[in-house]
Structure 1
Amino acid sequence: MQARVIAFITCLMAQSALAQSTVDIPIDQARAIAARAVRSGDVQLAQEIARQLLSQDPNDRTALLIIAATASQSENPTEGRTAGARAWRLSQTDTQKYEAARLTALAAAKEERFTLSTFWLRRALTVAPNDAEYAQTIADARIIKRRNPWSTHFGFSVVPSDNVNGGAEGTTLTAPGNPTGTLSDDARALSGIRASFSLRTQYRLHENKNSRSTVGLQYSGARVRLTEDIDIPDDAFDTNSTEFSLRYDRALPHGNLGINTSAGVSDYREATAGDQDVEFQKYDIGRFGLSYQTPLADRSKVAFVARTEQLSYLEETIGDVQRNTLSMSYVHALSSGDSWHVSISATDSVGDSVNYTSNAMTVQGGYNWKDPIGPVTLSVGAGYTRTDYPDYRLLYPVTGGRSDDTLFYNIKVGFPDATYAGFTPGLSLNRSLSDSNVSRYTRDTISVGITLNSAF
């Protein structure tokens, strides 16, 4: 067995076939010769030796690694990737697995299979031997991410809530100019468990030093399991939203311009207490937006956004809603690495139904700490929204119109010590308190979610 390998080696290395003879060389020495060939850049010799070793032992881990290590310089990176993956399965220690995972990622990148390359770099992170290797793998993963035309993000949470439906705090319906009434069960705050899922994937169609265009698909959905003893089916609170988008970004002399358009559909359900049947409802979505972002200083930037959207409801009593929004934001990074931001936005909505015609103004801000505070990372935000519905009506027009004042805040906590494969788990707390002259919309909503943030 060894003689066949060495005979092949001596033939490859010979200056003159007549000046050489076949010599038995141990397999370990053949591996060492192949490894030296890799280091010296003799890819062909290294691969030929490795293939001969594998022909006699398909589980020769060293030979598999040599095939993987030379994949980026060969015409067959797929062979290198499959060899690296097999070497991973044969590895016995974390150090061996780390080596195999990185080489497999390199081969996948050579194939331009960047998502698969990222997967193997995440595997490498789980077995990185030290902080320096971990940091290097993170840096490599960020490079691969920039090269990858695909970008995908997802979120998932299952959390208890004392207001899964965004219902009112009380049971009495009051509004200026209208008689006092009683809210239906589905209009009151209901306790339960809310599960939500979101997926956003984007593909880069083209990119150069001045411009980039991308196409994307977004989906979000929610399901509710009520914990209260109430005669309303759980699926009355099902929601789904799907949207297809196209975006173009261009670098200008003093900033960046973005153009975005999207179309989609969102569906929800309507139900009446005591009736187990739910009615399917939906609205079509069309959006168009412009954005401009420019730096003000070394660590500051300002952004302006103008957006218009058309919502077309299946429910004829609602009809169409035209909504226009203008916003401005400012972000500043401190020398410590911390950052803070503020923004203001104004939204004007005009609907076929007077109850969907409104004006809203929102101001908000937030602060993000770069370094952990003890065992956690932290960011906070808060804001205020004022919304006026000038012609809102119930049985009769609401005197002076409906007015809502909403305070909201959020706290996001990350747990870097629990990071795995480049993902850091965290918790998010969101709370909003709304006060309205129409009691149906006076509510206190708290939600707690589990987050998973990627380092790249």
Structure 2
Amino acid sequence: MPRPAFRHLNCLCASAFLFALSPVPHGWAQTQINLDEARALTYQLVADGQYDSASALARTVLQSDPNDHAALLALAQAEQGAGRMASALSASKAAWRNSHTDAQKYSSSVVAAQALNADGKPLRAQFWLRRAAEHAPNDTFRARAKQGFKYVQNKNPMRVHLRLSVAPSSNINNGSKSDTIEIAGLPFSISGDAQALSGVEYNLGATLSYRLPKIGDWALTASTSFDAKSYSLSSDAQALAPTVSSSDYAFQELDARISARRIDADGKGATNLSFKVGENWYGGSALTKFAGINFGRQIKAGKQSTLAFNLGVERQWRQDTDLRSANVVSASSTWGHRFAGGNSVWVTGYASDTASDSAAIAQQTLGARVRYAPAKPIFAKTSLELSLGYQNKRFDRALPLFDRRVDDTINASATMTFNDLDYFGFAPTAELSASKTSSTVTQYDVEDLGLKLGLRSTF
């Protein structure tokens, strides 16, 4: 890891952790120095690039006290400077185990991160930098650890993004809010499993991406994502639908994609292209295979505003019945603006057309969504984001005995991020959401109230 990225480290060690020794190496056998002077000398040797001498001096101290934190830390720095990364990592881990204060834990973590990054192990280095940020003795050192994390992350071609949430919901199956439906003027009962079932949704996902060599001005990235949703039914839901199991609603999706991004020469815009393939499963059975391409464009629309446009085409091959296979064309546009006080707003409009031989699938969708994020925390360090959306979905053809289906949906959410509860660079989030769908076919009148608890990276 280049010294400029962590130039604060040597200063921290020299000022906060001077160490001492009693016996000294052969080169100093004729000179009597006290322990504090020896500590200062060892760090000075490291700073001067005399790594072998510093290492020998540190090892002499450790003969009398193997748990001397300062000696272990100096040894780690000396071994790293000499290019012996395995030994540097071993010494820094030992220094971590013998740390008793946040300052000691911070310095040990940063030195371990340096050794790992220099040894070509940036993902492990990022873990140690998160640990450094967690134990930073003050905001200044925490900011330096975060800066180091971003430095390593930007240099690392591989990234891992994890997603985790738990969401209690009044309608995990998107079921009807009614227990009856009218057909040709006559009422019919809706089965329990088609009605709204309450329970809890558990979502676990991960995205692994790798930055490929550039082709001209295009930056290329290959990535793969996996998401899995599982559920538990409430006792009321089990009583309403005793023949179903929570596993009947389990959903998994796996996809792989290649993305390309080119930034305009003036830096005021960017173009994105991507191609994806994937498959998903529902209730333990294959549901859909899909492939699609997407074109995106982002431009600046003033000093504090941006515009983004996206156009996508996707082919879906249904595995349960080929009749439900579809071609989907979608488009969206988002205007974002940051106000002088720091508050931000995003306005999105979107449309899609789904062509299918199935009357239950073929449809057109129009929608809009507004998101707003105040700059100031609502309390302590808790940030807030509000969202309000509307969607109109029109199906191409009516099913026999039913009116042509048209759904109108209104949804709203409020998401809080509790930054003061940050741990290892992850802060808990809570999203309260509500949605209501009114349909010309009453079976599809849906209401849902949910609370999603999750984690969000703070850097």
Q: Same fold (TM over 0.5)?
A: yes
Q: Indicate how the Cα distance of structure 1 residues 72 and 308 shifts in structure 2: closer, same or farther if over 3 A, else same.
A: farther
- Rounded to whole Å, the distance in 2 between the matches of 1:52 and 1:207 is 49
The partner residue of 2:269 within 238, 246, 255 is 255
The one-letter amino acid of 1:387's match is K
Q: Which residue of 2 aligns with 1:139?
A: 147
- Rounded to whole Å, the distance in 1 between the matches of 2:31 and 2:458 is 52
The partner residue of 2:393 within 382, 387, 392 is 387
Contact 2:51/2:79 (<8 A) preserved: no
| SS at 1:449 equivalent | strand
Q: Which residue of 1 aligns with 2:231?
A: 224
- Rounded to whole Å, the distance in 2 between the matches of 1:221 and 1:89 is 37
Q: Is residue 189 of structure 1 aligned with residue 196 of structure 2?
A: yes
Contact 1:242/1:265 (<8 A) preserved: yes
Contact 2:25/2:57 (<8 A) preserved: no
- 1:53 to partner: Cα distance: 4.2
Once the two structures are superposed, residues 395-441 of structure 1 have per-residue CA deviations (whole angstroms, 9 ceiling, x without a partner) of x1533x21000001111111122122222212012221100011121
The partner residue of 1:32 within 34, 40, 55 is 40
The partner residue of 1:265 within 267, 279, 285 is 279
Q: Is residue 205 of structure 1 aligned with residue 208 of structure 2?
A: no
- Rounded to whole Å, the distance in 2 between the matches of 1:425 and 1:170 is 35
Identity %: 25
Contact 2:428/2:456 (<8 A) preserved: yes
Normalised TM-score (structure 2): 0.87
Q: Indicate how the Cα distance of structure 1 residues 30 and 312 shifts in structure 2: closer, same or farther if over 3 A, else same.
A: same
* Residues 146-157 of structure 1 mapped to structure 2, 5 A cutoff: 146-157=154-165
Unaligned runs of 5+ in 1: 11-20, 270-278
| SS at 1:355 equivalent | coil
- 1:96 to partner: Cα distance: 1.2
- Rounded to whole Å, the distance in 2 between the matches of 1:359 and 1:72 is 61
- 1:59 to partner: Cα distance: 3.5
Q: Which residue of 2 aligns with 1:315?
A: 320
- Rounded to whole Å, the distance in 2 between the matches of 1:113 and 1:297 is 41
| SS at 1:91 equivalent | coil
* Residues 389-408 of structure 1 mapped to structure 2, 5 A cutoff: 389-393=395-399, 396=400, 398-399=402-403, 401-408=404-411
| SS at 2:140 equivalent | helix
Report which stretch shifted further, 320-329 or 120-129.
Answer: 120-129
Contact 1:71/1:107 (<8 A) preserved: no
Once the two structures are superposed, residues 27-57 of structure 1 have per-residue CA deviations (whole angstroms, 9 ceiling, x without a partner) of 6654432112123333343233334444665
Normalised TM-score (structure 1): 0.88
* Residues 100-139 of structure 1 mapped to structure 2, 5 A cutoff: 100-139=108-147
Q: Indicate how the Cα distance of structure 1 residues 85 and 3 shifts in structure 2: closer, same or farther if over 3 A, else same.
A: closer
Unaligned runs of 5+ in 2: 1-20
The partner residue of 2:350 within 345, 361, 373 is 345
How many pairs are equivalent?
Answer: 431
- Rounded to whole Å, the distance in 1 between the matches of 2:218 and 2:76 is 35
Report which stretch shifted further, 71-80 or 216-225.
Answer: 71-80
Contact 2:23/2:61 (<8 A) preserved: no
Q: Is residue 294 of structure 1 aligned with residue 308 of structure 2?
A: no
Q: Is residue 240 of structure 1 aligned with residue 240 of structure 2?
A: no
- 1:211 to partner: Cα distance: 3.1
Q: Which residue of 2 aligns with 1:82?
A: 90
